[in-house]
Amino acid sequence: MANHKSALKRIRSNEAKRLRNKYQHKTTRNAIKALRELTDKKEAEKAFPAIVSMLDKIAKNNIIHKNKAANLKSSLAKYVAAL
């Protein structure tokens, strides 16, 4: 167990950050899944920018790697274009 006040605070802040990152990552994954289930091109084109924004935000905060975000955006763009 941590003995220093700063170490105790670090444990609390790390847990808060972990939960926030987990929430953002899971929310983004669910949004991607929902987009891939869409069959209407208009709806997909409407949802796509919001998902790209979510991916950019979590990549910026190092929740996912920037290249993974780029690969996901590319594959989603292909999917939307092919509808």
pLDDT at residue 47 above 80?
A: yes
Closest CA to 80 of 29, 27, 33, 42: 42
What's residue 50's pLDDT?
Answer: 96
Domain boundaries, the chain: 25-82
pLDDT band for 72, please (50, 70, 90 cuts).
very high
Q: What is the pTM of this model?
A: 0.85
pLDDT tens for each residue of 18-44: 999 999 999 999 999 999 999 999 999
Q: Say if CB 54 and CB 30 are below 8 A apart.
A: no
pLDDT band at 53 (very low <50, low <70, confident <90, very high): very high
